[in-house]
Amino acid sequence: MSQMEERTFIRMKNINPMKGFIHGTQKRFEGNCKDISKTGFAFISKTKLSINDMLTADIETQGLPLPPINITGIVVRCSSLQGGEYEVAVQAKL
């Protein structure tokens, strides 16, 4: 069984700009959302975040007459990519 088949909630690709902040700090970040599901999301950013950082992000809804998607969650992974970027996975706080 593939990882996709094992997921309870399917992740939808969502390549939209986003920005947010880390709770309890002045640290802000920007990036591009990679995918999103009911339980969390992943994004690419030039800002390195730490595991267990609590953040709030606004993901733009380009091309739709809707306000940005606002999500609060906890960083569960931050992997280094080429070019000084990071892939960050966030578990949504439900």
Domain annotation for the chain: domains and CATH numbers: 11-92 (2.40.10.220)
Q: pLDDT value at position 64?
A: 79
Q: pLDDT value at position 38?
A: 86
| Four-point Cα dihedral 48, 2, 17, 87, nearest 10 | 10
Chain segment 10-21, per-residue pLDDT in tens? 666 667 899 999
Residue type, 65: P
Q: pLDDT value at position 66?
A: 86
| Spatial separation of the C-alpha atoms in residues 67 and 60, rounded to whole Å | 7
Chain segment 20-67, per-residue pLDDT in tens? 999 999 999 999 999 988 899 999 999 999 999 999 999 998 877 889
